[in-house]
Structures are given as structure tokens and as C-alpha cells.
Amino acid sequence: METLDVTTKRHEVGTGLFFIAATVTAIIGLKLYLPVLHDADPLGAVNTYAGQVALGAFFEALLAVANIGTAFMMLPVLSRVSSRLGPAYTIFRSLEVVLILVGLVSMLALSSVSQQFTAEGAHDPADYKAIGAALIAVHDWTFIMGPHFMLGINTLIYSYLFLRSGLVPRLSGEAGHDRRIAHPHRGDPGDLRHHRCLLGHYDAHGPAHRSLRDGTRRSVDHQRVQHARSGGLISI
């Protein structure tokens, strides 16, 4: 299948920037949360790292924006390949964003509960600690269902559509090209030029072309000699 046309250079750059922003903000946000998430007493830890948790929530909000950006930037491209799976990617990406925001709210709620716990004193610490543990569990599960499960579905959808559109090479196609290079005389010389152009190394008058051409001739001559020695006729 022919490779899809690229709409505009600006669209390409914007999509790439959204994906980069999503990756960077996801890593930073999680790193900022780790001291609280791994602490045995999250209520006490969130007081110590209150500013860090707030900054982590900010980066997760940026992550949500970046994910929405990727969803809508990819929609017109993927929809040209499949009118069903293209919108499905946007839907599952949006569900991932919803789960990210739920996890963000759970961390901010944990910070608020911790402040209330500190202000009122430890009249009934067991209840507060249970609430804190529940909020941490909510964040953990949203992290599993969002950036893991939903992201996996999103990746499968757009990877399949990229493969189907020709935006990425098929494994079988690559194997076929490898065989064609190993035995260039079996195919059309145009295929060789096409493969070299894809790799960005082809020059019709350059040393790469001459080397490829000479190698092809030597391979053909060698086969003719072998054929003649075995009693066959040499075709000129």
C-alpha cells in the first residue's frame, strides 16, 4: 500500500513535540511522586514533600494536555487508513487522560487530607491513615490502567495502522529486500535503485552506484562461468 501523504510539516513537528512532551512529563511527574508513593506513612511524607507533590501534579496536568494533543493530531492521519480504528485511538487516548487526571486528583486529595490530619491532631489517626492508603491505591491503579493498559491499546492501534499504511516497513518486506540485495540479478534493477533511494545512499553517478553495479556484474559473470563449467551454455 502506498505511503500516506504528510499533511504539513507543521503537523509533523507538532505531533512529535506532543509525544516528546508526554514522555518527559510522565517521567518527571512520577519521579516527583516517588518519595510519597514508596513511604510507609504517606500522610507524613506528603507533608514533607508537599511542594514536590504539587509540582508532580502540575507535570501530570501537562501530560494530560500532551496526550490530548497527540490524540487529535493523530486522528486525521489514522482516520485516512481506517475510519473506525482512527477514532478508536482518540477514544482510548482520551480514556487514558481521564485515568491520569483521576490519579492526579488522588495525590492532591492526599495532600489535603494530610494537612487536615496535621491541623486537627491525631485524634483518630487510624481513619486518616486508611484514607491515605486508599488514595495511594487509587493512584497506583490509575497508573496501571492508564499509562500501562490504555497506553498499550493505543500503541497497538496506531502501530497496526502505521504498518497497514506503509508508514513503517513490514518485516516480510524487509526480508524480501534483503534477499533482493543478496541476489540482485534476480530482480529488476529498478528495485535496487528504489532500495538505495529509500536508504538515502543512491547516487546515479556516484561511487555507491558504481560499486553496486560492478558487484552485480561480477555476480552475474560468476554464475555464467559456473554454469559453463557444469556443461551449460553461456548466454551473452
| Residue 6 contacts residue 12 (beta carbons within 8 Å) | yes
pTM, to two decimals? 0.66
Query: Do 151 and 35 lie in a common domain?
Result: yes
Which of these three, 120, 142, 165, is where a domain ends? 165
Residue 34 lies in a domain: yes
Residue 177 lies in a domain: yes
Can you read off the three cell numbers belonging to residue 101?
Answer: 487526571
pLDDT at 212 over 50: no
Can you read off the three cell numbers belonging to residue 196?
Answer: 538505495
Q: Which of 64, 49, 197, 186 shows the shortest CA–CA distance to 115?
A: 49
pLDDT at 47 over 90: no
Query: Do 192 and 161 lie in a common domain?
Result: no
Q: Is 107 helix (H, G, I), strand (E, B) or coil?
A: helix
Residue 23 lies in a domain: yes
pLDDT at 194 over 90: no
CA 9/CA 7 separation, integer angstroms: 7
Whole-number pLDDT of residue 122: 58
* AA letter at 199: L
Tell me how many domains the chain contains: 2
Query: Do 158 and 209 lie in a common domain?
Result: no
Query: Do 158 and 204 lie in a common domain?
Result: no
Q: Which residues contact 179 (CB under 8 A, 6 or more apart)?
A: none
Query: Do 120 and 26 lie in a common domain?
Result: yes
Query: Do 142 and 50 lie in a common domain?
Result: yes
**Higher-confidence position of 222 and 97:** 97
28-66 burial code (b ≥16 CB/10 A, e <16): bbbebbebbbeeeebbbbbbebeebbeebbebbebbbeb
Query: Do 97 and 35 lie in a common domain?
Result: yes
* AA letter at 197: C
Can you read off the three cell numbers belonging to residue 139?
Answer: 493512584
Query: Do 44 and 92 lie in a common domain?
Result: yes
What are the helix (H) ranges across the chain?
9-37, 42-48, 50-81, 85-120, 125-143, 151-165, 171-182, 189-199, 207-229
Query: Do 68 and 28 lie in a common domain?
Result: yes
Whole-number pLDDT of residue 83: 92
Mean pLDDT, residues 83-91: 93
pLDDT at 85 over 60: yes
Query: Do 143 and 120 lie in a common domain?
Result: yes
Residue 4 lies in a domain: no
Whole-number pLDDT of residue 226: 54
| Residue 114 contacts residue 43 (beta carbons within 8 Å) | yes
Whole-number pLDDT of residue 224: 53
**What's the mean pLDDT when you consider all of the chain?**
76
CA 220/CA 198 separation, integer angstroms: 25
Which of these three, 146, 165, 184, is where a domain ends? 165
| Residue 93 contacts residue 36 (beta carbons within 8 Å) | no
Whole-number pLDDT of residue 205: 45
Query: Do 111 and 205 lie in a common domain?
Result: no
pLDDT at 185 over 70: no
Residue 184 lies in a domain: yes
Biggest CA–CA distance in the chain, Å, is 102
**What residues make up the domain containing 61?**
9-165
Residue 144 lies in a domain: yes
Which of these three, 165, 200, 216, is where a domain ends? 165
Query: Do 126 and 158 lie in a common domain?
Result: yes
% of the chain with per-residue pLDDT over 90: 44
